[in-house]
Chain A
Amino acid sequence: MIYSLLLMLGVGMLAGVFGAILGIGGGMIITPVLTLGLGLDIKYAIGASIIAVIATSSGSTIAYLKDEMLNLRVAMFLEIATTVGAVIGAVLTGLVHPTFLYFLFGALLVFTTYNMIRKLMMKNEDAQDVTADRLATKLNLNGTYYDKALKKQVDYQVQNVPGGFTMMFGAGLASGLLGIGSGAFKVLAMDTIMHMPLKPSSATSNLMMGVTAAASAMVYFFNGSIKAGIAAPLAIGILLGALIGTRIMQHLKPRLIRMIFVPVMLYLGIQMIMKGFGVTI
């Protein structure tokens, strides 16, 4: 029992560090490790994973808030879409076959990886010339943050709000169905669709993951999918890992973060598709 507790603690810590650095909820790391690596029932992996998502989010949001990288207005506005999606997803969990979702997920992750690689090829990736659309200005979504690596205050504009909102609904739906934070999709919605810089996108995505996950976690908590002996050590490990990861994150340059992001996204994408076809690596 002590061995299994320590194992879960270790898995949680690793997921916490990588989750915070990449802006993904740790759930994407935890579910494959628990099901493929440790042979746990997917239902309980999902339950533990949703707890891990909340722990990652709460652990790192504290640090981000102090640095004011977070865009609270973007988070709250888009959370209308993610929470509605999460509630519908959680209700649909029993009705939709997960195979279909794994496949859809994998395909989207591979697409995101392609997008990230394309961005890495472009010069001056951070000097994005973005004009705010009318909706973004009306909703007061444009923001500013202090970049530690660049050592200056960065003002930014936000574009394509309806596109981001729609993507966020999908992200919430996926979160509710699979018990993940779907942080990759949230970063995609803000960074790629709405053209927000990566650091505030990641920080905002972290906060949103917690709120979205809280919506679906209620369902998992009350229907018995959350196993105390698995979820508890994972949560503690994730909290510690997220604190470490957030500290590292602030001193990295966006290009480096993306370069770490690319192979992780590609690997997860391929793994999801394989799982969709019933193949386990």
Chain B
Amino acid sequence: MIQKNSKAKEMHQVELMIGQILRIGVIVSAVVIVLGILLMVIQGNGGYPNGVQPEGFVAIAKGVVAFKPYAVIMLGLFLLILTPTLRVVVSIYAFAVEKDRLYVWITTVVLIILVIASIIGYFEH
């Protein structure tokens, strides 16, 4: 009974940790997006001619270094897209702590599908 209680307590700790990690992920991406919007307001445009925006990691990275509003926003949006993926990764750890092997596998399958999705997305363009 005592052991069961301590396990439940541990799970509760893990769930709180997941919440914290997620919150940090959402806040970081939101801050980056807001920063990009502020840059856009200050500079009066997206930093690229004729509404064009950076595509791909290299173009976005170059734009971020040059403080181009659209590039900063795209980075923030990409971080936001990564947040649910992070949620899946941390859940694998949570199930491992609970020693639930079935769900470690199930969640790993979900992560693999997500990775395949990003690869398809990258090459479809």
Seen from chain A, the residues whose Cβ lies within 8 Å of a Cβ on chain B are: 1-2, 5, 51, 54-55, 57-59, 61-62, 65-66, 68, 72-73, 76-77, 79-80, 83-84, 86-87, 90-91, 139-140, 207, 210-211, 213-224, 226-229, 231-233, 235-236, 239
Would you call B120 and A217 a contact (CB within 8 A)? no
Would you call B113 and A84 a contact (CB within 8 A)? yes
Would you call A216 and B117 a contact (CB within 8 A)? yes
- Which chain B positions have C-beta within 8 A of A65? 15, 18-19, 22
Q: How far is the CB of A198 from chain B (nearest CB, A)?
A: 22
- Which chain B positions have C-beta within 8 A of A228? 36, 46, 53, 69-70, 73-74, 77
Whether B34 is near chain A, meaning CB under 8 Å from some CB there, is: yes
Q: How far is the CA of A201 from the CA of B122 in the complex (A)?
A: 33
Q: A221 and B117 in contact (CB under 8 A), knowing A62-B23, A80-B109, A239-B26?
A: no
**4 closest pairs, A vs B, by CB?**
A210-B84, A218-B121, A219-B121, A215-B117
Whether B4 is near chain A, meaning CB under 8 Å from some CB there, is: no
Would you call B120 and A214 a contact (CB within 8 A)? no
Q: How far is the CB of B3 from chain A (nearest CB, A)?
A: 19
Give the A-B pair count, Cβ closer than 8 A: 160
B:9-28 near A, CB below 8 Å: 15-16, 18-19, 22-23, 25-26
- Which chain B positions have C-beta within 8 A of A61? 22, 87
Q: A90 and B117 in contact (CB under 8 A), knowing A228-B73, A232-B76?
A: yes
Would you call B77 and A51 a contact (CB within 8 A)? yes
Partner of A229, one of B22, B40, B107, B110: B40
Would you call B26 and A226 a contact (CB within 8 A)? no
Q: How far is the CA of A55 from the CA of B29 in the complex (A)?
A: 10
Would you call B124 and A219 a contact (CB within 8 A)? yes
- Which chain A positions have C-beta within 8 A of B18? 65
